[in-house]
Structure 1
Amino acid sequence: MFAKPFRVKSNTVIKGSDRRKLKGDISAAFPSLSAEELSELVPNKEELNIVKIYAHKGDAVTLYALHKTPLFFEVEKRLYPTVYVLWRYPALLPAFTTWKPVLQKLIGGADLMLPGVVVPSSGLPDVKQGDCCSVTVVNNRAPVAVGTATVSSAEMQSLGMKGRGVCVLHTYMDYLWAFGDKSNPPSLLDVEVEEQGEYGDELAADEEAEKYVEEQQSAGETVTDEACPAVEDLNLADEEENKGEKGNEEQEKDEEQTPQAIMDALLLQCFLHALKSKVKKSELPLLTSTFLRNHMFSCCPSGKQLDIKKSSYKKLSKFLQAMQHEHKLVRVKELSKGVESIVEVDWKNPELRSFNIPETDVEAASEQDGGEGEILYHPPEITTLYSVSARLEPLFVDANKSRKGSALQPAEVRSIITEYVKKNELVDENNKNYVRITPTLCDCLLEKAEYQQVETLKWDDLFGRTLERMQQCYQLVFPGQAAVVRKGHIEPIDISVASRGSNKKVTIIKNLEVYGLDPTAVATAMQHRVQASTVLQPIPGAKDKVLVQIQGNQTHQVGSLLLDYYQIPRKYIQGLDKAPKPGKKK
């Protein structure tokens, strides 16, 4: 459920009545928790938040987070503990044990298959179909996944331990785990399981997991081996042993610094990175909240989390004041009450000029900035062409150049007509600005009413009439691909703003496919930029075309993405004038 990023709809502090109700719900769902343990999980006087999210498949989920660490999540009015809770109370749920290689498949979105379950001498845990249960790995009782049993324990045995065993909802190192403090599971040795298994069984279990992933993919489901981008290592017990010398040195260096100093350094790094590679002069003044959300967060290195409250500054305003007065990098001004903006950046500041963007972050930054497509996009070369029509074919055949249907550039058309005129000596002797009309030119270029009246045409009129009677088309050339010629005028990318229920605005983008743009990639890029929901909808009557719909009037951000990142020429984008004026509500 959380193998892919989710969208946060709201994040609010829980009320006293809701806190009491949550305690009651937790106690009813997990009766093994004592009153003291329940008070530790849901303390009365500490900040507890309700976070409403939408998972990547559209499921509505409610999170309950203490100090920004998710403790429980609720799906369809049923509570489930996160791995953070289970690390404190590992016996809270019945647990199935599997081999470490299978964990990688679970993180990617697969369910736990019964061939991958290690059966201890005491037998399988007693569960019924639909019961909430956890998954552990061999040698460690700390749960690494939470889900529901697909069948009862008795049925698992009767099935010969084949098929699906646990429908996995949440795992260590998925995006729900990354929403918390990203800590690793504790080491809780399980001697009984450790003495039992053999490595050959582990390989067999891994092969079964691979087989199941292939079955899921063939069925149209997506399962990947990728974990959350914040993850640096997939190993559990062997994590420290697999670290290289360089990793050990960096770890020792970090241990010498306080957590506040480390966060201060990360803030400064992301700040300089954002100024150097993200912010443009044309964007100023830039709201400080926008700068943090759209620029600084996207510059945070993979495996780290930017949290101003864990720094010595505590607030963004204090951090920016330090950047203004101590580092002389920016000038911050309160444009309206309680609303601050960055109004000036000292691009010549030595500290900013000497800052080098970390190599490991360049690729990640480019992906977050524009899209989420792995292949670097290059705009096509667009050329307007004219196709020889049946009426003009005698003129072009006589010139021994082209036949009906041939696509020519305007310069080529002009050259052919000029050559035809000179070859047939049609330039007026009295005025060289005129061309004498022959029967061929008369049939090709004149209207019937002009047959007896027009004897000469100016050069410009001659060229103009020729192009008017040709069919316009265009040629697209994408890097590394053969040229594609299509009839008609090229459709511009259309940006429009429409009203939906309750006068809510939505931004609609059409014709992205004409320019080789993937609507899914554009939708994902916009979702990251503006933190608003996006949907794809088929266009009626247009085969293989979809429109992108974004919540709110996002015309300015769409224009910025298309012009600055995708490098689409402005003349091929219509609707940019619908962008809201500065200072007005979108």
Structure 2
Amino acid sequence: MFVRPFRVKSNTAIKGSDRRKLKADITAAFPSLSADELSNLIPNKEDLNIVKIYAHKGDAVTLYLMNKNPLFFELEKQLYPTVYVLWRYPDILPKLKTWPLVVQKLVGGADLMLPGVVLPSSGPPDMKRGDCCAVTVVGSRTPVAVGTAAVSSAEMHSQGMKGKGVCVLHTYMDTLWAFGDKSNPPSLPDAQGDGEAVEEEEREVDEGDEQTQEPSPDSETTTEQACSVIEQLSLTEPGDDTIGKSQNPEEEEEAEQDSLKMTQENMDALLLQCFLHALKIKVKKSELPLLTSTFLRNHMFSCCPAEKKLDIKKSSYKKLSKFLQAMQQQYNLVRVKELTKGVESIVDVDWKNPELRSFTVPAETDVEAAPFQDGGDVETPYCPPEITTLYSVSARVEPLFLDAKKRKGTILHAADVRSIVTEFVKRNELVEGSNKNYVTINPTLCDCLLEKSEYQEVDALKWDDLFTRTLGQMQECFQVTFSGQAPIIKKGHIEPIDISVASRGSNKKVTMIKNLEVYGLDPAAVATALQRRVQASSILQPIPGSKDKVLVQIQGNQIHQVGTMLLDHYKLPRKYIQGLEKAPKGGKKK
């Protein structure tokens, strides 16, 4: 279920009543969990969040997070523990054991088949079909997967241990595990030595025809093998079936670590190159303070060579904040400060730093180089984006576009829509002979464009009405094209820059501007320019519920000044600016 990334719908703090209900549900679902263990697992004073997500197949799932770690997930009103919970309390679920080679298949998204289940001499645990259960490796008590029993314990024997055993929902190394702190599983050796009770027989490793002869290992060897597999999994991407293929696992592990290190070194070098490149020709002194996220998105990415892809997660730093911290401590190139809670900005750049001065801009990059000055005040004029309205073919008007081989979801310009509809009319000879300004309505046009009340009344439409109705039945989209960048197409209407005025304590006014990022404007740079223009303080605030947007707030009713700057300096069309009518009216004072 969590092999592929999921989409987060909402993330809210849990209420006190919901926390009590959750505890009651956990007690009912996992009765072996004692009251003290439950209190330790979900303390009353710790932050607990409810996260609504959609899995890649569309399933609605509810997650319960404690300190950003998913503890439980709820699917179809049934509660399941994550591996983070099972690593603390491994005995709250019945467990089925499997061979180390099978674990990699589970991580890749496969279900556990009965031929791959290792039964102790006492037989399988008591389970019914649909019961929640865990999967462990022979020689270890550490759960590596969670799912539901596909068959009951009795059916396992009656079916001769053939068919599906566990429908796997969640595993170590999947995206749900990655949503937490990504910690590795603990080492929990199995003191009972299950391996000694297993008869020597051929066991099917996966759903194919391949069968592996598994000798009956001793407990100590099996435990070491289980720990080794779990350790290797932490270095292996899901779906990468590499475990057990090398004749010398130690050499293979060393080779993988060397390859990983080499990849990180290459990404570190590319990260440093794009960083210096952006500072040298992109960032100007007037932009400071500059949001670190804006610096990465608008400057560093554009300085990356076309044949390469910048990915901080594949570097040794993993996060932009750690990389910038290293640049500050090792090279003293920048100074990063948290101006508002949780939002970091670059507040200063050492333009005379030897590392920056000696850096040569690569010739193969597509970024247009600007002359570098020691003061860093390089004027890169803002170029407003080109915004185009587009239309997506909807299910209702799809029959009009079938002859042009345009299916549902195809995005077209208005001129293309006009051309296709005109060709449809001419091909079907629908132009009225007596008055060529009108188009006769045939069954296809009737179904696509007319309302039910018009079926018997409207026999013909004017050309303009025909085009207007067609566009009205299509999904409106917009395309934003920034200079030197690939076009960005999104559904719906483009959000205008919103300017509003709010009252604060003692009837003080503040002006707020949002959606600047949609038009490629850096909120920090706009705030600095406004601050100098009107001589008033300004601050940046993150917008609740929006990941990459920031609100600019400046003292006083500054709508007129904001509008003048956006219209005259940034050359943005007036139709993309909302709230200019709220500017204070000029007049004579009495």
Q: Output the TM-score relative to the length of structure 2.
A: 0.50
